[in-house]
A and B are shown apart, each in its own frame.
Chain A
Amino acid sequence: QKEVEQNSGPLSVPEGAIASLNCTYSDRVSQSFFWYRQYSGKSPELIMSIYSNGDKEDGRFTAQLNKASQYVSLLIRDSQPSDSATYLCAVRQMRANDYKLSFGAGTTVTVRA
């Protein structure tokens, strides 16, 4: 079982719609969760972090975390063509001497104008 799993997509949404991205993780001790955005040919950049259960909003982005279900999601409201990118879910384990950040394979989002 992969440590972090995402739907690979592609996810195609019309401009102005909500894009919903899902991520599940296997290790219950995971405590920190991140969403990175990667444009084609570019490096990943951090767009959201979430550490406790519930919702966290930042502009048009909302991250949702449910530790009991080992599930984290990202909602993109009012999707714009500039949101077309691959979104990577990342999970950091906080065990002693183990600080690696594990990434999912990414979900490719295409916003249709």
Chain B
Amino acid sequence: KAGVTQTPRYLIKTRGQQVTLSCSPISGHRSVSWYQQTPGQGLQFLFEYFSETQRNKGNFPGRFSGRQFSNSRSEMNVSTLELGDSALYLCASSLSGANTGELFFGEGSRLTVL
């Protein structure tokens, strides 16, 4: 059974640019959550999608957005990149999200903003 796939794995952008990250969950999983991980802040919750609907959102500015498609694949977008957006962005899928709490993480997309 394939795991959670995130693309791209590494990317370098400059301030002011935008970036789109993609996540393909485990087959059959309907919930996709996104997290930002930095050495100083740890894992910070961005948002969770379930059946194409955003179910919850963390405390990030509106520059961070996401969506989920009918096949459960999800994308997150960060516009007007800032240096502080440099981080590892982790996607996690779950069979039903809230009820199980068991998240399966992808390997992450490491974003560097110059």
Q: Given A97-B56, A98-B56, A100-B58, are A92 and B101 also a contact pair (CB < 8 Å)?
A: yes
Return the CB mask of B65-103 against A: 1 if under 8 Å, else 0: 000000000000000000000000010000001100111
B106 lies within 8 A of chain A by Cβ: yes
Query: How far in angstroms is the closest Cβ of chain A from B106?
Result: 6
Number of B interface residues in the complex (CB < 8 A): 21
Q: Which residue of chain A is the closest to B102 with respect to CB atoms? A: A46
Question: Once the chains bind, are B97 and A99 in contact (CB under 8 Å)?
Answer: yes
Question: Once the chains bind, are A103 and B56 in contact (CB under 8 Å)?
Answer: no
Number of A interface residues in the complex (CB < 8 A): 22
Chain A interface SS verdict (over half): strand
Chain B contacts to A: CB under 8 angstroms: 33, 35, 41-43, 45, 48, 55-56, 58, 90, 97-98, 101-108
Query: How far in angstroms is the closest Cβ of chain B from A10?
Result: 14
Question: Once the chains bind, are A42 and B103 in contact (CB under 8 Å)?
Answer: no
A80 lies within 8 A of chain B by Cβ: no
A29 lies within 8 A of chain B by Cβ: no
Question: Once the chains bind, are A94 and B98 in contact (CB under 8 Å)?
Answer: yes
Question: Once the chains bind, are A101 and B101 in contact (CB under 8 Å)?
Answer: yes
Question: Once the chains bind, are B42 and A101 in contact (CB under 8 Å)?
Answer: no
Q: Given A44-B43, A92-B98, A92-B101, are A101 and B33 also a contact pair (CB < 8 Å)?
A: yes
Question: Once the chains bind, are B48 and A43 in contact (CB under 8 Å)?
Answer: no
**Most central of B33, B97, B98, B107 by chain A CB within 10 Å:** B98
Q: Pick 30 A–B contacts, CB within 8 A, sort by A.
A: A32-B101, A34-B101, A43-B105, A43-B106, A43-B108, A44-B43, A44-B90, A46-B102, A46-B103, A49-B102, A88-B42, A88-B43, A90-B101, A92-B101, A94-B98, A97-B56, A98-B56, A99-B48, A99-B55, A99-B56, A100-B45, A100-B56, A100-B58, A101-B45, A103-B35, A103-B42, A103-B45, A104-B42, A105-B42, A106-B42
